[in-house]
Structure 1
Amino acid sequence: MKKLFIFFVLSSFVFSCENDDSITPVEDPQVIAEFRTNLSELNLYAGNISDLVLSTRAFPYELNTPLFTDYAHKQRSIALPPNTSMEFDGDGFPIFPNNTVIAKTFYYNVDERDLSLGRQIIETRVLIKINGDWESGDYKWNEDQTDAVLEPNGSTLPITWIDANGVSNSTTYAIPSSSQCFDCHNTYGNTTPIGPKLRTMNFEVNGVNQLQKFLDNNQLRGLSDVSSIGKIVDWNDTSESLEDRARSYFDINCAHCHIPGGFCETQSTLNLAYETSLEDSNIQVRKNSILFRVGSYNPGVSMPFIGTTMLHDEGVQLIQDYLDTL
C-alpha cells in the first residue's frame, strides 16, 4: 500500500509538471563578449565543447565561396546580444551591434571517408565588437580537445589527415599571431571582419536562402527583399562562368588585402574586390605577377603571405584557366 501511494504521488507530480505552462525550459547562458583565458568561458558552445554544438545564443553562417586554409574545415558562427539584430547596410557587411561575437573554428577530420573516426580541432578565431571597434583573438585547442586557450603569439602544429580519395596528407599548420591576424583584418588601420558580407552569404543552405533565414529569425533587419542583394558565386560550381568563379575566388581569398585601405594597397596596384571592373582591377596588367605569386609555394613571396602552408591546387588551376583567357 505504501509503494502504491508513493507511485501515485510521483505520477501526479510528473503529470502536473508536464501540464504546467509556468515551467519554462532552461536557456543557455549568455555569450560573453570578452576575451577570457579559455574559450569555454565565452559560452559559445553548449554541452561538451569539443562536440562544437553551438549555444542557442549563437547561429551558424556559411560563405558561398570560403577562404582556403590548407584544406581545413571551418565552423562559422555569430552571437548577437539579446534583442538585437544585424542591420542592413548594402551588399557588404551589415552593421553589427556592439558586443557581437563572430567565431570561426578550424578542424580536420581524421578520415574524410569515415567521420566516426573523429576530428582534430586546431584553433578558434574570434572577433568581438567593443565600443564600436572590432578586436581579435585566437584560441588554440589543447591536445585533449577539452578547451582552447587564448594565444596571441602564434604557433605551428603538425597535422595529418586522410582525404576523400583515401590519400594521406600532412602539413605543419600555422596558427597566426595577433599581428598577423591584423594584417588581413585591416582596412584603413581598423580591424574588420572578412567573410560575412551579405553578398557572400546570399545563397541557399539546406534549401533555404541564408539571408531570408536571418530575416525570418529576426537576426537581420532593414532588408525587404533578398533578391535585391548582389551575390558572388561558388568558385567550384562549373555551371557558373569562369570569370565569375575566378573573381569570386579572388574576392574572398585576396581582396581583404588587395583593396584600397588593405594591407597590400601600397605594395600592389591590384584591386581584387568582386565588384571592381576588370579594367580597374588591374588583373590583366598584373596577370604574370599573379601567376608567379600563386603558382608555387615560397614563404615570403607566394600569396597569400599568411594563412596557408601549401598550394590550393584546384584554386591555382582556376586562376590559371581564367588568366589564360585574358
Structure 2
Amino acid sequence: MKKSIYLLALTFLFISCSDNDDVIVEQCGQPQNVTVNNITFDSASVTWDNNSATSYTLEYGLSGFTLGSGTSENVTNNTALFSGLSANTAYDVYVSANCSTSNTSMYTGPISFVTSAPLVVPEFLPNLSELNLFEGELNNLMPSERAFIYNLNTTLFTDYAYKQRILALPEGTSMEYVDDGFPNFPDNTVMAKTFYYLNNERDESEGKQIIETRVLILKNGIWELGNYKWNSDQTDAVLDNTTSNVAVSYLDTNGATVNVDYAIPSAQQCIDCHNNNNIIIPIGPRLRALNGNNQLEDWISNNYLSNLTDVSQVAVLPNWEDAVNYTLEERARAYFDMNCAHCHTDGGFCGDQSYLRLSYDTPFADSYIFEDKINIDTRMSFYYQGVSMPLIGTTMMHPEGYDLISQYLDTL
C-alpha cells in the first residue's frame, strides 16, 4: 500500500513539472538600422528595419535629453515623421519595438541629427534678424547656410566703410547666365550689403561698428529695396528708410584716428542710384564684376549659376587697384563703371543731364570722357554735397580714386 502511494505521488510530481509550465517567451528584438533622413529646418523622418513587432515606440527630444522626459510617439509601421521642430537644433531619438503589451524591446539609440537652417524670408520685416539671413549672434555677420558671400573685382567707394555682400536664392533655384551683365535672378532672391568699420584696422579682434544693411528683394520680377539701421548695442537692425547720420571713429592702418560722419541714405536716394528707366536694378553683381578668384566656377559647381559651363565666355571687370595686371585706362574705366556708371548711363539718374556714359563696355568714343574731362576732374577733386561726384553715398572725396582718374585724364 505504501509502495502504491509513493508511485502515485511520483506520477503527480512528473505531471506538475511538464513542459506546459515552462513556456519560454522570446525577447522582442530591438529595432535595427535606425536612420534619420529628409531633414529640413522643422521636420525629419525616421526609418528602421521591420521585425515581428506589432508597434513601435519612439521618444525624441533635444540632444542629451533623459529617456522618459522626451516626446513619445507610437506607430504601427517602421517609419515616423517628426514635425514642428526648431531650426538649427540638435535632437536625439530612441526607438523600441512592442511585440505585446508585456514584451517590449530595449531602446535603440540615441540616434542624433541636426535640423537645417530656417528658410530666408523674402519680405521686409521689422527686424533684420527676422529675415533669417544670418545664423548665431547677428553681429558676427555669419551668413545662414542658405545664403552665401559674394565679392566684386572692383568695389564702390563709401567713405572707406567695409562691406559684406551676401546673396540668398530660393530653395532649389539658381541664377541663369545671359551675358556679361546681370544674370536672371529667380523671384524671391534676397541681396544684402552690410556696411561697417573696424574699430582698429590693425587689429580686427577689437571688433567693429556695424552701421546699416541694405536689402534688395526680387518680387514678381521687380526689385524692392529697404534699409536696416543697426542699434547701438549691435544686436539687431530695424527697418528704417529715412536718412540719418552716424558718428564713427576708428584707428586706420597707420594708427591714426579717423572720424566719419557716415550718411545713411534715404529710400529715395537709394532709388535714385538703383533706378534705370523707372525700374530698380542692382548695381554691383554683374557677372563681369564677379568673374575673379574662381567665384563663378564655384557658383556653377554649387548650382548657384546655370546655363554657363565655361567662365572664359564672361568678360572680367578689372580691379582698379591692380596696377600690375591692368593698364591705367582699364583701371580707370573699371572705377568709372562701379562708382559712376549706374547714374551716367541711358535711363540712369544723370542720363538726361549729362552726355557721359561710363559703363566699362561703352566704347571710349561714345563715353564722352574726353569731351567732359575737365568737369570730371573738377567735380572729383573736392567734396561738397550736391555738387561733387559721386552725387550720393559719400561724405568725403576719395583721394586714391581721384588720383587714378586724374592720371588717366592727363593721358587724354
Q: Does 1:246 align with 2:335?
A: no
Q: Does 1:96 align with 2:182?
A: no
Matches within 5 A, 1:1-326: 20=111, 24-204=113-293, 209-239=294-324, 240-326=326-412
Distance 1:293 1:223 in 2: 41
Q: Deviations over 1:122-181 (max 9, x none)?
A: 000000000110000000000000000011111111111111111111111000000000
Aligned residues: 309
RMSD of Structure 2 on Structure 1 (CA): 1.6
Q: Which runs of 4+ in 1 moved over 4 A?
A: none
Offset of residue 17 of structure 1: 5.2
Flag the structure with higher strand content: 2
**Letter in structure 2 aligned against 1:275:** D
Distance 1:192 1:282 in 2: 24
Q: Deviations over 1:178-200 (max 9, x none)?
A: 00000000111100000001000
Offset of residue 25 of structure 1: 2.7
**Letter in structure 2 aligned against 1:315:** G
Q: Deviations over 1:31-73 (max 9, x none)?
A: 0000000000000000110110000010110000000000000
- Can you give the 5+ residue segments of structure 2 that lack an aligned partner in the other structure? 1-65, 68-93, 95-107
**Letter in structure 2 aligned against 1:123:** E
Q: Deviations over 1:2-55 (max 9, x none)?
A: xxxxxxx99xx7xx657x5xx543111000000000000000000110110000
**Letter in structure 1 aligned against 2:301:** D
**Letter in structure 1 aligned against 2:319:** D
TM-score by length of 2: 0.73
- Name which structure has the greater RCO, CA cutoff 8 Å, separation 6+: 1
Distance 1:305 1:93 in 2: 24
Report the secondary structure of 1:172's partner residue: strand
Distance 1:125 1:182 in 2: 12
**Letter in structure 1 aligned against 2:284:** G
Distance 1:306 1:91 in 2: 26
TM-score by length of 1: 0.92
Distance 1:177 1:296 in 2: 23
Flag the structure with higher helix content: 1
**Letter in structure 2 aligned against 1:225:** D
